[in-house]
Amino acid sequence: MLHYRTFSAIYSEMSPDAPRDPAFDAQDDPAPPESPAPGVASSTGEKPAEAPGGLPSPLPDVTTGLPAHLEPLADRARDYFRASSAENTRRAYGADWRHYTAWCRRQALDPLPPDVQTIGLYITACAAGKAGPKPDAVSTIERRLSALSWQFRQRGLVFDRQDRHVATVLAGIRRTHGRPPVKKEAVLPEDVIAMLETFDRGALRGLRDRAMLLVGFAGGLRRSEVVGLDVGPEQTEDGSGWIEILKDGMAVTLRGKTGWREVEIGRGSSDATCPVVALQTWLKLARIGHGPLFRRVREGGKDVGPDRLTDKQVARLVKAAALAAGVRPDLPEGDRKGKFAGHSLRAGLASSAEVDERYVQKQLGHASAEQTRGYQRRRDRFRVNLTKAAGL
């Protein structure tokens, strides 16, 4: 069995943003991190070693203590750690862990082992604006708790989220500060058509953006799913799915949290709005036959690089195209800027597809019809008038 410190080193080397045990932490932020509170011991019962300047000592290279024949397995373990969760999840959980440990240091509290009273005070501070520059939203606090639960599990530590010191405080926070979720505006088919007209059909970047928008909308894909697609299976280590172009459409295989699923994208009613035609055009003119589907366009738009786009670029694309196309002109300009993002594509498909709800649910990969209904945003909100239908 690998020693705990060896396990921690493997875990800590997953990525620069991976959260770490404060007892073994190295400086991983541009600004120097706060020193542990004086006299506060680590979870091992020992005070963390000090490096010059009073900062925690760098992570020791404990993997060198492994027998040589086990080092390849340690390398493979690191790969599996990276593959165990999405990069965005690791980044968010890492930021939440640093937020919690920084608050603990300021309060002269030890973040490890988990203490339900400490965590109850922490979420109270988050809600009251005492753990940061402003109060956290309820959804943010819930995410921070999920991050802490995950962190403790990785260390083999028990944290009872249902303990009254945490659960009851969280229930009170929800009742006091809970607000309806702020949802992104859906882009409907007529919006998508208008957005397509904002792209330059004679430029590689314009062709790529057309394909991304149409594939994302017709597939009801998350932004990470759009940029995670490859031309074929098992072509890249960071890919999360691939496509297969068929006579009547395109099959998209996606890796999700609970396993693999397949999404079918049919051909459009015309080539101008067909996601399959748009994708084929992009792949042909960009000369992409292997690897990531959607890549950076460089050298003034004349060349396509090997690098995969990030999911944030999908959000920026949808927002910029919606604003340029004048979607929702009835809203003030300031409000329109915050209304659109990558999620607008999934919400748009759920809101506009006039088919049995179960087909939309399957396309979006939802576990329940109720979850799918949460994505539906109809602008004709009173299309079904129950008041009149009741005879009033």
pLDDT in tens, 305-330: 999 999 999 999 999 999 999 998 88
pTM above 0.85, yes or no: no
Which token pair is 273? 């709005």
Inform me whether the pLDDT recorded for 256 exceeds 90. Answer: no
Least confident of 219-228, 254-263, 352-361: 352-361
Inform me whether the pLDDT recorded for 373 exceeds 90. Answer: no
CB 215 within 8 A of CB 265: yes
Least confident of 272-276, 303-307, 345-349: 345-349
Q: What is the mean pLDDT of residues 171-178?
A: 94
What is the C-alpha separation between 284 and 293, in angstroms, rounded? 11
Inform me whether the pLDDT recorded for 258 exceeds 80. Answer: no
Q: Which of 114, 92, 70, 113 is nearest to 19 (CA)?
A: 92
- At residue 343 the predicted structure's pLDDT band, cuts being 50, 70 and 90, is confident
Q: Which of 2-6, 102-106, 338-342, 348-352 has the highest mean pLDDT?
A: 102-106
What pLDDT does 380 receive?
60
- AA letter at 254: L
Q: What are phi and psi of 306, to 5 degrees?
A: -85, -10
**Average pLDDT value over all residues in the chain:** 81
- AA letter at 163: D
| Other CB atoms within 10 Å distance of the CB of residue 309 | 20
C-alpha radius of gyration, the chain, whole number: 25
Give CA angle at 48 (43, 53), nearest 5°: 150
What pLDDT does 336 receive?
84
Q: Which of 89, 108, 187 is nearest to 147 (CA)?
A: 89
| Other CB atoms within 10 Å distance of the CB of residue 177 | 14
Inform me whether the pLDDT recorded for 345 exceeds 80. Answer: yes
Q: Report the phi/psi class of residue 164: left, alpha or beta, with left for phi > 0 and alpha for psi in -120 to 50.
A: alpha
What pLDDT does 127 receive?
95
Q: What are phi and psi of 254, to 5 degrees?
A: -125, 145
Domains of the chain (ranges; CATH) run 1-106 (no CATH), 113-181 (no CATH), 189-373 (1.10.443.10)
What is the C-alpha separation between 106 and 45, in angstroms, rounded? 20
